[in-house]
Chain A
């Protein structure tokens, strides 16, 4: 090997050969919560509050003083939102797990019925479902001599759990479908019954895959709990409008007030979103 092979010499330099470049597939930028979103929100509240103060003059109470004054009440309302989100998620997940199992049933009619229910509740607007729950569920149930009252917030929990149920069902179905068919075959050839195959072999492998979308769903549900204000549950949004009224209907506090509530939602949802991303990364490699 003396001198340069003319064939090689004629080749473009190594870095220009497309095939030699490491392939880096960039996922199209997914919309995710990021830390600067929170900072932007905080800056927005400060700016709008400051602007309102500057425009209002000395005879009005400062917007920030109002926010501080009402914080304990707002916070109680916010905790109510969290409570509604917890309960809806728990109820929706329990129902959705059943529905999801229905979607993978070997009985055709179970599968079809589950599919219809899933599609209906997944595609109906959440607010419409909430209205249905509020107006169709009686305000109390009488069982014998026991009267169980159903206040608005219980109805809201039920109403919000319906879309959660349908989405969880779809998450279950998707996770089961993502398990390689060889797992079913191996389980089958070892004599496991269908029931055993699902519960001891397929579903345990699904849990990991279901966790990220499930947490995502929870974050969406949390932000949707404010819908309950429309049906008269005294959660954070209802309280916010009551506070506005109590402050004499000052319109200049609206922007900082709602911005302030947004920050709380951000503080609650951001860690969930971060953790979901981490889980997704971990499982993306290890499956």
Chain B
């Protein structure tokens, strides 16, 4: 990680094995409250990382730092070789490679499902309408919303809206997907359909970083689990170890309460 003039914008294919996201010593405060107190970890290409922990532990803030939605004071996040903590950062370029799905879906209510998916590729990537449309249909089919292309978000259930939101992110052909508690606002019966979609993505080799409260899901799809509490990573490891034999008492207590 020297200051060598690496071609950052073309660094979409780092060498095999090199982490696609490198987070080191990230500090973030809101006023006097320090929510991230030096967080570091790496994410390899194709890896599915789950961040778990009690409310207010800084999970969402961390994931929002990765695509520069939230600025942070100290530390470094490198996404595909590009330093995020850089005043001269080309945020648009970064966000073309990093998709994000939110807890509240945040679909554009004045546009249909299909239009929601098509807007960014047409306006941001300047791709041809016909090509984008074809891909948008395919993506909506992939998230099993065939036939709902022309529905408005207000006419869909939470789970359907969230799947449109996933399709909308995928339309930008991101290399990394961030999921910020995407099932937390859903009715229990629609959680499953969203999780299946994410699992499918993970199996296709998409690099995924998830903040989640779905422990069973994290255990099932996660390659690596990070347990955060009060702004630090308390413990991490592969799911089969972290969930069955947590070492830190805080992890034990949290998992004991939730499972």
Contacts and interface: CB of A to CB of B under 8 A. Distances in A.
Contacts of A180: 104, 106
Interface of A: 180, 182-183, 185-193, 196, 200-201, 204-205, 286
Q: What are the nearest 8 A-B pairs in CB distance?
A: A186-B106, A182-B106, A190-B120, A191-B95, A189-B100, A191-B124, A191-B92, A182-B104
Interface string B63-101: 000010100000000000000000000011001101110
B110 A205 contact: yes
A190 B69 contact: no
Interface string B108-151: 11100000000110011100000000000000000000000000
Contact of A185 (B69, B119, B172): B69
Chain B interface size band reads 20 to 34
B67 A190 contact: no
Contacts of B96: 191
B154 interface: yes
A196 B69 contact: no
Contact of A196 (B100, B123, B172): B123
26 contacts: A180-B104, A182-B102, A183-B108, A185-B69, A186-B102, A186-B107, A187-B108, A188-B95, A189-B67, A189-B69, A189-B98, A190-B124, A190-B168, A191-B92, A191-B95, A191-B96, A191-B120, A191-B124, A191-B172, A192-B123, A193-B92, A196-B123, A196-B124, A201-B108, A201-B119, A205-B109
Contacts of A188: 69, 91, 95
Contacts of B162: none
Nearest to A201: B108
B169 interface: yes
Nearest to B95: A191
With a 10 A CB-CB cut-off, give which of A180, A200, A204, A205 has the most chain B CB atoms. A200
B102 A286 contact: no
B62 to A, nearest CB: 15
A55 B92 CA distance: 80
Nearest to A205: B110
Given A185-B69, A205-B110, A192 B104 contact: no
A201 B168 CA distance: 14
Given A191-B95, A191-B172, A196-B123, A183 B106 contact: yes
Given A182-B106, A183-B106, A189 B123 contact: no
Given A190-B169, A191-B95, A185 B106 contact: yes
Nearest to A183: B106
Contacts of B95: 188-191
B6 to A, nearest CB: 22
B124 A185 contact: no
A197 to B, nearest CB: 10
A187 B154 CA distance: 18
B170 to A, nearest CB: 11
Given A188-B91, A190-B169, 16 more contacts: A182-B102, A182-B104, A182-B106, A185-B106, A186-B107, A188-B95, A189-B67, A190-B95, A190-B124, A190-B168, A191-B125, A191-B172, A192-B120, A192-B124, A200-B123, A286-B154
Contacts of B110: 204-205
B104 to A, nearest CB: 5
A107 to B, nearest CB: 17
With a 10 A CB-CB cut-off, give which of A183, A186, A286 has the most chain B CB atoms. A186
B233 to A, nearest CB: 24
A193 B124 CA distance: 8
